[in-house]
Structure 1
Amino acid sequence: MNAIGPVEPGEGTAVPRPVGRRPTPGRPTALRGRPLAAALTAALLLVAGGCLYATRPHLPPPTPPAPSQLPYPAQVVYVTFVGPHAPPPGSGPQSFAFEVLLSVDAGPEVTVTRVSQPYAGLSLTTAPRTPFRTEAGAARTIVITMHVTECGTVPENAGLPFLDVTLRNTRAIQEQSFILGARYAQALSRALQVACSNESGHHQNARDA
């Protein structure tokens, strides 16, 4: 009985086995060291940047302008008429009030130390009371309450009424006259007529009594 076994390759026909590539000694160690080197480099850069920031030259603070370089208060303050306002409680029948807006355009803060008007038969108070301060770039609402003390010395029709305002900043103290325009003149004339008519009615009632 013949047996068939595995075919033996002929001479010179054997297939060579693939030879695997041996890993280079030390290569994994080099790969593992790269992240560590990058981290050390980044840390060194941070330390160097911090040293440069800490040792940078410091600029001196800006020198504030001299008082002679600041604007005069009258150059930067504006007063505008807003309209009639209810007088404070207890002001009396011969009192009336107006609202004005005072604004400061630039420069240091401005202090209003006094507000007055030119007619002898009138007195006034302000809310807020003087002195009060207003910063540059800001506006403040002021309520001016007037009281007629003598109707014979106030005009029946106020032509160009104005307010005298004393202003102070670090440059100077100035008194400025602000003409508030036709609306203020008309409102003031009407208020004076009403106040003096109240006085006439009061005197008439006193005589009748």
Structure 2
Amino acid sequence: MSGTGPVEPGEGTHTWDTLDSPASTLPRGRLTELYDRHRRAVLGTATALALLLGGGYLYATRPQPPAPPDPPYPSQVTDLHYLSGEPTPAGAGPRSFSFGVELSVLSGPPVTVVRISQPYAGMSVTSAPEAPFGTSAGTNRKIVITMHVAQCRKVPWNAGLPFLDVTLRNTRAIEVHSFILGQRYAQHLSEALQVACSNGSG
């Protein structure tokens, strides 16, 4: 009888399923342990990377804190009040007179008084302390203003609402602000001008 049957393996040969391999030599429990360890390492790395990327995204897209507000304009936080008449400094001249004012800075950065002037062509102004000088927020400073009359015909003998022009500066801006000092100052100024110009000259 002739025919071809299954080929029998020769001596010294092996089939694929019987080949020795590192995997086939390990117990099943050991394979599972290695697989779990590898999976945990991969998951740990992936989790750390996800946290890192997520944290970076949250940091980049976090709400930005609002910008600090600009400081106020110096004229918004500075007050000037009339106090009273003051002795005229020695050497000021016969047509000079003095009075006191109080400057207050309510809030914000320090305010510097750059210049003090008045609107009448016949007079000039000096101050003690001499400008420029600074005043910090929450403090008051007394200023003695001395008026020097040069030409009586160019000054008002009955000033209605006289004012002082004060140049103020802080970190926000520099401004010229006119301070109306009220009725007491108007009366003092009118009386002082009448005395200064009572001799009738110039």
- CA deviation profile, 1:49-84 (whole Å, cap 9, x unmatched): xxxxxxxxxxxxxx9x75x62111000000000010
Q: 1:189 aligns to what? A: 190
| 1:121–1:150 Cα contact (<8 Å) kept | yes
- Which amino acid is the alignment partner of residue 92 of structure 1? G
Cα distance in 1, alignment partners of residues 159 and 182 from structure 2: 11
Per-residue CA shift, 1:77-108, capped at 9, x if unaligned?
00000010001101121100010000000000
Alignment of 1:45-194 (within 5 A): 66=68, 69-194=70-195
Distance 1:198 1:99 in 2: 26
In the TM superposition, residue 199 of structure 1 has moved relative to its aligned partner by 5.4
Retained in 2: the 8 A contact 1:119–1:153?
yes
Letter in 2 for 1:184: Y
Amino acid at match of 1:96: F
Indicate conservation of the 8 Å contact 1:93/1:198, yes or no: no
Partner Cα separation in structure 2 for residue 113 and residue 106 of structure 1: 18
Contact 1:94 1:198 in 2 (8 A): no
Structure 1 residues 147 and 199: alpha-carbon distance in aligned structure 2, compared to 1, 3 A threshold: farther
| Secondary structure, counterpart of 1:146 in structure 2 | strand
Letter in structure 1 aligned against 2:78: V
The amino acid across from 1:187 in the alignment is: H
Unaligned runs of 5+ residues in structure 2 are: 1-64
Residues in 2 aligned to 1:99 and 1:87: alpha-carbon distance in whole angstroms: 11
Query: Could you tell me which amino acid in structure 2 is paired with residue 161 of structure 1?
Result: P
Runs of 4+ in structure 1 off by over 4 angstroms are none
**Which TM-score applies when normalising by structure 1?**
0.63
Query: Structure 1: how far apart are the matches of 2:126 and 2:199?
Result: 20
Q: TM-score, normalised by structure 2?
A: 0.65
Mapped partners of 2:119, 2:154: distance in 1: 11
- Pairwise CA distance, 1:163: 0.3
C-alpha distance after superposition, 1:104-155 (max 9, x if no partner): 0000000000000000000110000000000000000000001100000001
Shift of residue 198, structure 1, vs aligned partner: 4.0
Task: Tell me what 1:21 maps to.
Answer: none
Q: Structure 2: which amino acid aligns with 1:95?
A: S
Between the two proteins, what is the percent identity of the paired residues? Answer: 62
CA distance in 1, matches of 2:102, 2:144: 9
Measured in 2, the distance between the counterparts of 1:188 and 1:93 equals 15
How many residues were matched structurally? 137
Contact 1:94/1:199, CA 8 A, preserved across alignment: no
CA RMSD of aligned residues (A): 1.6
* Structure 1 portions without partners, runs of 5+: 1-62, 204-209
Contact 1:77 1:105 in 2 (8 A): yes
